[in-house]
Structures are given as structure tokens and as C-alpha cells.
Amino acid sequence: MAKFKLFILTLAFLAALMASLSITDWGPVTEHPLSYSPAEGLRLPESGVGDIGFEIFTIYVFSFEVLALVLTAALIGAIWVARKEDA
């Protein structure tokens, strides 16, 4: 019975994932609406950390969330494999 519940939960997750993928607008981003531009007379920062952060949390937010889910599952799997069995 537990495997059946897990199967149903997996199907529900996949259905929600496919629904969110189908309604997402994947059109190209031509320019960053919140891109940083320095005041007149100042130079652009040499570090691209702000641009990377902007892209991660706007353009690539879905990929970022999937990566977080995969890493969380890997961590839980590693803990499960490394646990000591009661003898």
C-alpha cells in the first residue's frame, strides 16, 4: 500500500511539474530591466556577481529550484546510506 501512495504522489508531482512547464513563457530576454548602470563618471564594477545573482533569480529561477531539489534529495540519500543499522 505504501508503494501505491508513493506512486500516486510521484504522479501528482510530475503532473504539477508538467503543468508549470507548459504555462511558463520561455521567450528570450532581450535586456535586463533591472540591470545596474553606474552614475555618470563612474566605471562599471569589474565583478559580475550582481549580474549573476540577477540572472539566477530571474531568468534561471526554475533551474535553480530544480538544482536545490536534486541536491536536497542527494543529501537525504547520502544520510540514508551512511546511517548505522541497528543490529
Residue 10 in any domain: the answer is no
The single-letter code of the amino acid at 7 is F
Provide the domain count of the chain.
1
Tell me if 56 is assigned to some domain: yes
Residue 35 lies in a domain: no
SS3 24: coil
Distance in angstroms (rounded) separating the CA atoms of residues 66 and 72: 10
Residue 65 lies in a domain: yes
Give residue for cell 542527494.
74
Report yes or no on 33 lying in a domain. Answer: no
Evaluate whether residue 74 is within a structural domain. yes
Q: 12: pLDDT confidence band, cut at 50, 70 and 90?
A: very high
Instruction: Tell me the whole-structure pTM to 2 decimals.
Output: 0.45
3-state helix, strand, coil in the chain (%, to 5): 60, 0, 40
Contact 36, 51 (CB under 8 A): yes
Residue 14 included in any domain: no
DSSP 48: -
Asked if the structure places residue 16 within a domain, the reply is no
Q: What is the band of 31 on the pLDDT scale with cuts at 50, 70, 90?
A: low
